[in-house]
Amino acid sequence: MEELKAKFSRVYIHKDSLGSAVAKRVLELFPSDSVQVVNDQPLKEKNGRLSAEDFEASKRALYLAPFKGQFFKRCPGARPGLLCCNYFVLNLGQQCDMNCSYCYLQSFINNPVLTIYTNFDQALNELKEMHKDLGSSRIRVGTGEVIDSLSLDELTLYSKSLIEAFRHFPNWTLEFKTKSAKVDQFISCEHSKNVIVSWSVNPQAIVDSEEYGTASLEERLRAAERCRDQGYPVAFHIDPMIWHPEWKSNYTDLVEKITQRFRPTQVAVISVGALRFQPEQRIMMRERFGMKGWVTRAEVYPSQDGKLRYDQALRREMFDHVLGQFRAAHPDWRVFLCMETPETWISTTEQIPHRNPGLKDLFDTKVLHQHRNWSQNTTTP
């Protein structure tokens, strides 16, 4: 907790959030001279396209406030030009206390504070309402779209309430997605095996050069083992794969670490994706991280969804390599490509999800059509 407190130079609490459990915890934990009660979002004059400096500062200013909109949204991958799965996102805040060079929040965040939403009960009510209509469908809900699911969870403790809620939603799956190793706060909660704890992982060389302030690869794998040992299904996202001269041996090593420490039955799914970002993000990445990293120097090209990606032949080579490593370790590993174009899916034919018995439920289009009403608020990262 001390490490987390040290990340924030200033804490703002909206007056309407003062009664919330998270605000009470913050008031107990942070020195009173670093906390300010406000009537409105602080630093509002900076709202809009943030400069690199403002974006940097936004990671050190914590703001607790109620969220005024709808908490649930369809996954941004579900749009023309991309194959994706029936995934919903539940945003319980915005911005991240960690600092990856490729982070898409750099092209998305437009206010200068890291916000935690305090009206968590409203999110739970939305969840219950949605369950009335869609309780019999197989739905996956993730909390790690615009804020890491767990890095601030020791402060919010939202994971515990969500785990409890999902015990009553047996057909649904909740996914916590993180690059932290913060699992102590929920690990002993009773669960119904429908809460997946997942880690974005990369070789340690990439963690060192591109994923600042995150847990080391070893810490992430150790946290995953602890969750597995408590009966939680775990998942891994080898995403974004980043080209560097030793990429083949480093990703081989990463796959070996996973396959030697976990069995296919213990890992719900492994998704694989490659570096991609909006063209306008490149300027901010270079301003913030210079030209030394593998991301800011990457040779990338526009793809059909407008994002910059490695050329297709390289992406295919990278995916084939990782998929091949898993297949060689054991045929039962459930690996799929995430946020990829149909051409890339087709080039790795065995992994087209609709043809893969282990994955096709995740991509059930009937479920997607049923959820059309919920899809109107899709965000575009």
The site for ligand SF4 (CB under 6 A) is made up of 96, 98-100, 103, 105, 148, 179, 214
CA distance to 60, 153, 214, 312, per residue, from 7 (Å)? 6, 14, 13, 39
DSSP codes joined into one string, 216-264:
PHHHHHHHHHHHHHTT--EEEEEEEE---TTHHHHHHHHHHHHHHH--G
301 three-class SS:
strand
Residue type, 140: R
Dist. CA 34–CA 61, nearest whole Å? 10
Q: Which residue from 318, 312, 153, 134 is spatially nearest to 242, judged by alpha carbons?
A: 318
What's the chain's length in residues?
381
Which tokens belong to 304? 């059909």
Residue type, 309: R
Q: Which residues contact 339 (CB under 8 A, 6 or more apart)?
A: 77, 82, 84, 239, 273, 276
> b vs e for 41-76, b when ≥16 Cβ sit within 10 Å of the residue's Cβ?
ebbeebeeebeeebbebbbebbbbbebeeebbbbbb
Which tokens belong to 177? 């997605």
Task: Check if the beta carbon of residue 220 is closer than 8 Å to that of residue 202.
Answer: no
Dist. CA 142–CA 163, nearest whole Å? 12
Dist. CA 227–CA 188, nearest whole Å? 9
How would you classify the pairing of strands 61-65 and 10-14?
A: parallel
Residue with tokens 């996202």: 237
| Residue 287: CB minimum distance to ligand SF4, A | 16
Dist. CA 11–CA 37, nearest whole Å? 9
